[in-house]
A and B are shown apart, each in its own frame.
Chain A
Amino acid sequence: MTEATAPTATETNRGFSLAAIPLWAQFAAIIIFGVLLSLVWDGATRWPEAWTVPMAAWITEFIEWLKSEATIFGVEFKEITRGIGAALKAPVKWAEYLLYRGFKGIGLGPLPWVAVAAGVTIFAHWVGGRRLALLCVLTMIYLATFNLWKDSMKTMTIVIVAVPMAALLGVVLGIWVTRSQTASRIISPMFDLMQATPHMAYLAPVAALFAFGPVTALIATVIFAMPPMARCTILGLQTVSSDVLEAGQMSGCTKRQLLWKVALPSSKRTLMLGLNQVVMQTLAMVVIASIAGATGLGHKLLYSLQQLRLGVAIEQGIAISLIAIVLDRLTQAYAYKETDHFAATKTWTQRHKHMLLFLGILVVSYIAAEYWRWVKIPPSKFVWGTGDAKTVLFDAKLLARHADQAIRDFNVVAFDYINPIRDWVTIWILLPVRDFFLWLPWPVFVGVIGLAAWRLGGLSVLLLCLALMFSFIVTGFWVETMKTTYLVLIAAALCVMIGVPLGIWAARSERVANIIMPICDTLQTFPSFIYLIPAIMLFRIGDFANIFAILPYATVPAIRYTYLGLKRIPPVTIEAAIANGATRMQRLFKVELPVALPEIMLGLNQTIMMALAMTAITALIGSTDLGQEVVRSISTQNFGRGILAGFFIAALGIIADRLIGSWAAERKRQLGVA
Chain B
Amino acid sequence: MPTDVQIKCRNLWKVFGADPKGFLHRHNGAPTAEALADEGYIGAVQDVSFDVHQGEILIIMGLSGSGKSTLIRCITRLNDPTSGEMEYEGRDLLKLSERDLIDMRRHKMGMVFQNFGLLPHRDVLENVAFPLEVQGIARPERIERAKAMIELVGLSGRESYFPRELSGGQQQRVGIARSLAIEPDIWFLDEPFSALDPLIRAEMQDEFIRLQSLLHKTIVFITHDFEEATKLADRIGIMKDGRMVQLATPEELVLNPADDYVAEFAKNAPRERIVSVGAIMQPVAGNASGTVPMSAKIGSVAEQVLTSEHPVAVMDEGNNTIVGSIDRQTIATSIFGTRAA
Contact = CB atoms under 8 A, between A and B. Distances in A.
Interface of A: 241, 243-254, 257, 261-262, 265-266, 268, 338-342, 344
28 contacts: A243-B114, A244-B117, A245-B117, A247-B113, A247-B116, A247-B119, A247-B175, A249-B78, A249-B105, A250-B76, A250-B188, A251-B134, A251-B178, A252-B107, A252-B182, A254-B102, A254-B134, A257-B134, A261-B130, A261-B134, A266-B120, A266-B121, A268-B120, A268-B121, A338-B162, A338-B164, A339-B162, A341-B165
A252 B111 contact: no
B102 A252 contact: yes
Contacts of A254: 102, 134
Interface string B143-166: 000000000000000001110110
Given A241-B115, A243-B114, A261-B134, A251 B162 contact: no
A341 B109 contact: no
Interface string B103-128: 10111011101111111111100000
A245 B179 CA distance: 14
What is the size category of the interface that chain B forms with chain A?
35 or more
A241 B175 CA distance: 15
Contact of A252 (B106, B115, B120, B175): B106
B333 to A, nearest CB: 44
Contacts of A252: 102-103, 105-107, 131, 134-135, 182
A113 B76 CA distance: 58
A340 B124 CA distance: 12
A246 B117 contact: yes
A243 B115 contact: yes
B102 A243 contact: no
Given A266-B120, A341-B160, A246 B102 contact: no
Interface in B161-185: 161-162, 164-165, 175, 178-179, 182
A186 to B, nearest CB: 25
Contacts of A341: 123, 160-162, 165
B129 to A, nearest CB: 10
A244 B119 contact: yes
Nearest to A247: B117
A247 B172 CA distance: 12
A251 B179 CA distance: 8
Nearest to A246: B78
B117 A265 contact: no
Tell me which of A246, A247, A248 has the highest count of chain B C-beta atoms within 10 A of its own C-beta.
A247
B165 A340 contact: yes
B113 A243 contact: yes
Given A246-B111, A251-B178, A261-B134, A266 B162 contact: no
A244 B160 contact: no
B43 to A, nearest CB: 21
Contacts of B131: 251-252
A27 to B, nearest CB: 41
B105 A250 contact: yes
Given A243-B113, A252-B103, A344-B160, 7 more contacts: A241-B115, A244-B118, A249-B105, A252-B131, A252-B134, A340-B162, A340-B165
Given A249-B78, A252-B106, A339-B162, A243 B134 contact: no
The 4 tightest CB contacts between A and B, nearest first, are A247-B117, A252-B106, A243-B117, A251-B131
Contacts of B160: 341-342, 344
A247 B178 contact: yes
Contacts of A245: 117
A322 to B, nearest CB: 32
Contacts of B105: 249-252
Nearest to A269: B120
Contacts of B165: 340-341
Contacts of B121: 265-266, 268, 339
A246 B103 CA distance: 16
A268 B119 CA distance: 11
A494 to B, nearest CB: 45
Contacts of B76: 250
A268 B120 CA distance: 9
Given A249-B78, A341-B161, A266 B134 contact: no
A248 B122 CA distance: 13
Nearest to A257: B134
A7 B135 CA distance: 79
Nearest to B158: A341
Nearest to A254: B102
Nearest to A244: B117
Q: Could you say which of B123, B134, B175 has the most chain A C-beta atoms within 10 Å of its C-beta?
A: B134
Contacts of A248: 117, 119, 130
Nearest to B164: A338
Contacts of A253: 102, 134
Contact of A247 (B111, B161, B162, B182): B111
Contacts of A247: 111, 113, 116-119, 175, 178
A336 to B, nearest CB: 13
Contacts of B122: 265
Contacts of B175: 247
Contacts of A241: 115, 117
Nearest to A342: B160
Contacts of A251: 105-106, 130-131, 134, 178
Contacts of A244: 117-120
Given A243-B114, A266-B121, A250 B109 contact: yes
Contacts of A250: 76, 78, 105, 109-111, 179, 188
Interface in B226-254: none
Contacts of B182: 252
B112 to A, nearest CB: 9
A342 B76 CA distance: 37
A674 B242 CA distance: 32
A261 B119 CA distance: 9
A339 B118 CA distance: 15
Nearest to B110: A250
A477 to B, nearest CB: 46
B119 A265 contact: yes
Interface string B288-299: 000000000000
Contacts of A338: 162, 164
Contacts of B133: 261
Nearest to B76: A250
Contacts of A266: 119-121
Contact of A246 (B106, B113, B119): B113
Contacts of B118: 244, 247
Interface in B42-86: 73, 76, 78
Nearest to B181: A251
A242 to B, nearest CB: 8
A257 B118 CA distance: 15
